[in-house]
Amino acid sequence: MLKQQIAIRTWAEWDENCPGFMEIDLVAHEGGNSRGDFAQTLNMVDVWSGWTELVAIKNKASKWVREAIEKVKGRLPFDLRGIDSDTGAEFINHPLRDWCEKHQIKFTRGRSSRSNDNCYVEQKNYSIVRQNVGYFRYDTDEEVYFLNQLYAYLRLYANFFQPVMKMTEKKRIGSKVQKKHDDIKTPYQRLLESSYVSEAQKERLTRLYKALDLFHLRQKITACQRKLFSLQKKKNVKNKNLEETVWNF
């Protein structure tokens, strides 16, 4: 059984001191209605730096998931060294396992029904995805397009301007757990400090950072959000008119 061939890793077992090992997950946009196809957001979070990548896909078919991971791999400012997922069939499948082996990417998974095993990405599912796109049902090509437009700006905002705090030590003293954290830094700042990121990549990151305008970025994010919400409003009006037509027939 393929699932048994993929090693388990829990949140407490991340000990790599370099970027490139990412927890991955899908956020479903069913809007409370799980019938039919609806959009999913692939969320990938680098455990070491907090760097986050988002890609919207039209459903959770493993083909689209793998293509989205490939897309992220191509734009990361560091080498993708490993992915860690839950036990869903969209991740635990032979094509993705074979792709990881081909590209020498370590593939691990959490335990079944243990969402805390993937706590790094689970936290970002809410703080970045849900807080910016809500809990609506997105199920059209146009909505997927504007989700990706939003994510193009959101990834820049999160990675270059949103600081994160990393836990450096955790130990139990009697009945209490004592935690230590490092200084608050953005994922961008953390990558600049890493010896595993090439100088050429650091220069590209720095040029991109200097070219960004935070106010303009927030405007673009807001514009995409308004477009998505306007599409929801039109869809709701259309559905309401359809219901009224059916009842009046």
Which pLDDT belongs to residue 246?
Answer: 37
- Residue 202: strand, helix, or coil: helix
Over the Cα atoms of the chain, what is R_g? 20
Distance (Å, whole) CA 32 – CA 2: 31
The pLDDT value recorded for residue 242 is: 37
- Structure token digits, residue 235: 């869809």
H-assigned helices in 103-213:
119-124, 131-133, 141-161, 187-192, 199-211
Encode pLDDT of 90-149 as tens digits.
999 999 999 999 999 999 998 776 666 688 899 999 999 999 999 999 999 999 999 999
Q: Note whether 21 and 46 are within 8 A (CB).
A: yes
Structure tokens of 199?
Answer: 């100088």
Q: Looking at the domain 2-11+19-248, which fold is it?
A: Nucleotidyltransferase; domain 5 (3.30.420)
- What are the pLDDT tens digits along the chain (249 aa)? 676 678 777 655 666 789 999 999 999 999 999 999 999 999 999 999 999 999 999 999 999 999 999 999 999 999 999 999 999 999 999 999 999 999 999 999 987 766 666 888 999 999 999 999 999 999 999 999 999 999 999 999 999 999 987 765 556 566 565 666 678 999 999 999 999 999 999 999 999 999 999 999 999 999 999 999 999 988 877 665 534 433 443
The b/e string for 22-51 (b: 16+ C-beta within 10 A; e otherwise) is bbbbbbebbbeeeeeebbbbbbbbbbbbbb
pLDDT in the model for residue 248: 40
At residue 56, the pLDDT reads: 98
What is the pLDDT, as a whole number, of residue 243? 43
Q: Domain segments of the chain: what residues?
A: 2-11+19-248
Q: Are strands 176-181 and 167-173 parallel, antiparallel or unpaired?
A: antiparallel
